[in-house]
Amino acid sequence: MRGTALLGPGHRRGATHHRRTISVLALAGACIFSLAVTQTAGGKAAADTVDTGFAIPFAGAPGYEHLAPTQMTSPDQLNQPLGQQAADEIAGEVGLNRNDALSEEQYRDLITGGGVGGSREAAEVIDECARILTNTNGRPLYSDVDGRPTPSVLASYGLYVNPGGLLESPANADAPTRQVNSLIAPGGFVGTWLRNNGATQTLIALYRSAYTVQAVYGFAAQQISGAAQLVTNTKAGVNSEVGMSMAPPLWIVNFALLYILKPALAAAMPAHWAPIPPAVADAIKSSPTGQVPFSAYASYFR
């Protein structure tokens, strides 16, 4: 028999969700106000904003939109990586440089579960995140699709295929790239590991960069996007959908995290975003889990 929840006096169904939505948007609003009167400590917010076609909070902090990927304008741009020169230039704009990144030894320890307080479980999540976010040309992910190992490259769409063959947004609740939030939260595993392994300056540089203000917008965007975790882009009267990881604030947050891990990883992130084929976007939004079988939709990406 199904149980029924009893709501106390003064409460109503949906009130908690309503308050959460208001508080998230208020947080983003406060962030916008703070950015209007001051810059982040390390990042260099541009004076002029750029019309990316994304709305707040999906556009991120004003002044940083120009750093995020633009929509592809030719087929050869699909899933193309940034390249190291562009990555270094973007890093400078958000307040980071190569000296802020982990040493090769520190990076190796972190992703193998080594160092002081290392964790193999956390290391696996971090490594999976890096592979998902750099799923660009030459860096395919392999999944079990109908019993066969199948490669896929979908970073520009803001999608990926999980090991079980399901197509989803990297911000899906099932994805390592969403589950890692608890590891990178203040006081979480990553910050503790960095402090315990001689990388306190790396942590300070990260928090002084545009990462901090963009994380607020990214959090707000994820909280109001349901199971699908897709973002609507509206520009020149055309609506299109893309996965959450390609929205400016999430892309910049992930860029900053990968750059401090290893600049070459950030260089492998997608340089342009691509609209998800409408039939695929509709299917993902209609799915209660925000996931669909890749085998049923792979033809849309060929």
- Using the predicted structure, report yes or no on whether residue 2 has a pLDDT greater than 80: no
Can you tell me the distance from the alpha carbon of 218 to that of 250, in angstroms, rounded to the nearest whole number?
5
**Average pLDDT across the chain, whole number:** 87
Reduced DSSP (H G I as helix, E B as strand, rest coil) percent helix, strand, coil of the chain, to 5: 50, 10, 40
The predicted structure's pLDDT at residue 6: 35
In the chain the beta strands, taken as DSSP E runs, fall at 70-71, 141-145, 148-152, 160-161, 166-168, 230-235, 238-243, 272-273, 292-293
Categorize the per-residue pLDDT at 287 as very low, low, confident or very high, splitting at 50, 70 and 90.
Answer: very high
Q: Is the pLDDT of residue 292 over 70?
A: yes
The pLDDT score that the predictor gives to residue 25 is: 37
The pLDDT tens digits of the residues spanning 70-125 come to: 999 999 999 999 999 999 999 999 999 999 999 999 999 999 999 999 999 999 99
Amino acid 235: pLDDT: 84
Q: What is the mean pLDDT of residues 225-242?
A: 94
Which H/E stretch holds residue 182? helix 181-184
Tally Cβ neighbours within 10 Å of residue 6: 6
Percent of the chain with pLDDT over 70: 84
pLDDT (tens digit per residue) in 260-276: 999 999 999 999 999 99
- Residue-wise pLDDT for 166-177, tens only, equals 999 999 999 999
Top pLDDT among 31 and 139 is at 139
| Residue 173 neighbours by CB distance under 10 Å | 14
What number is the average pLDDT over the span 138-158?
97
Say yes or no to pLDDT of 9 above 80.
no
